Every structure is written in C-alpha cells, then in structure tokens.
Amino acid sequence: MSVLSLVVRLAAMGTLGWLAVTDVRDRRLPNKGVLAVAMLFFADAAVAPMSLSATGEHVAIAVVAGVLCVGLYLMNMLGGGDVKLIAALALWVGGNLLVATSTMLLVAVTGLVVALLGLATRQLDPDACYGPMRGLAFFSCRRGVPYGVALAAGGSAAILLPLWLPGAIALFLKH
C-alpha cells in the first residue's frame, strides 16, 4: 500500500466525518460529500493500483447496493442521501466478505446507538439547550435519525480494513 493510497483513504475518512457531522446538524448528506467519497475510491483504485476487472466488480456491487436501497427509499425506510452514501461506500467494500460483514456489523451497532441516543433526547430542542446538552439535542429523533453517522463509521471500517487485513491474516496463519 503506497503512502498516496493512505492519503486518499484518510481524505475519504475525513469526508465521512464531515458528512456525519452534517447529518447530525442538518439531517442531510450533501451530494458533494457523497460524490467525493465515491471519487476518492477511483483515485485510490488508480494509485493502489487496482485492476480494471476488480474495479468493475466494485462498481457492479455499488450499483446493486444502490438499486436495492432505492427500493428502501421508495418505501420511506431510507433517506435519499443515505441511499447515495451506501452506494458510494459499496464501492469501497467490493466483494470482500469479511470487509462487507464487518462494515454491516459496525453500521448496525452504531445505528442502534444513534437511534437509542435519539430516543433518549427526543424531548430536547437544540435551540433551547447550551453546552454539551446542545450537542446531544442534535441527535433528537424528533427530526429523524441521522443514519449518516452509522454509515460513516461503517464506511471508515470499509476503507481501513483492507490496509489491516493482509497483515492480520498473515499473523493468524503464522501461529
């Protein structure tokens, strides 16, 4: 893994962090941030370098994930920004089952924590609170659940795990 690939991955994670904060604050995931996450995948594929067939596999998986999530959007189960972010993150996940499982597990656990936090703070109004309580009030589920936080956490795992996995698997096989 090159240093340039690491820089691209850190930029993608920074963008995911910005998207998470924006989702908590405004309950939206701006298209420019989601597009940046997707485009950074292609930048990483170019510098890694990833073969054209492997890149195509990642794109196909992202298309399938996007189409499935559009169905959830049409049933009012996901927001439009969440659908786009899931498709962008599916680019990073690709066909690696361990990365996909870890990503989905982290999204589910983080989503549960965010939803419970939203329920616990549902009576709070961010405009009426100050200090740390204001930060908590932004999670109030009265405005919907900011699922972008969970997606950003899982996406960070999808971006970092491929860097860590080869060494971890080699260490595991050595013992």
pLDDT by residue for the chain (175 residues), tens only, comes to 689 999 999 999 999 999 999 999 999 999 999 999 999 999 999 998 899 999 999 999 999 999 999 999 999 999 999 999 999 999 999 988 888 998 999 999 999 999 999 998 888 888 888 888 888 888 888 888 999 999 999 999 999 988 877 665 555 556 5
Helix, strand and coil content of the chain, in percent to the nearest 5, comes to 80, 0, 20
Tokens for 27, please give them. Answer: 């309950």
Sign of the C-alpha dihedral, residues 101, 106, 109, 115? negative
- Kindly write down the DSSP assignment for every residue of 138-166, as one continuous string: TT-GGG---THHHHHHHHHHHHHHHHHHH
Distance CA 92, CA 103 (A): 10
- The pLDDT value recorded for residue 80 is 95
CB neighbours of 52 closer than 8 A, spacing ≥ 6? Answer: none
Terminal Cα distance for the chain, rounded? 24
- What is the tally of structural domains in the chain? 1
**E strands present in the chain:** none
Domain of 102 in residue numbering reads as 3-174
Q: Give the single-character DSSP code of 175.
A: -
Helix or strand or coil: residue 168?
helix
Distance CA 36, CA 88 (A): 9
pTM summary value: 0.89
Distance CA 83, CA 63 (A): 11
Please calculate the CA angle 29-33-36 and round it to the nearest 5 degrees: 150
Residue 127's closest CA among 118, 137, 117, 119? 137
CB 48 within 8 A of CB 2: yes
- The pLDDT value recorded for residue 98 is 84
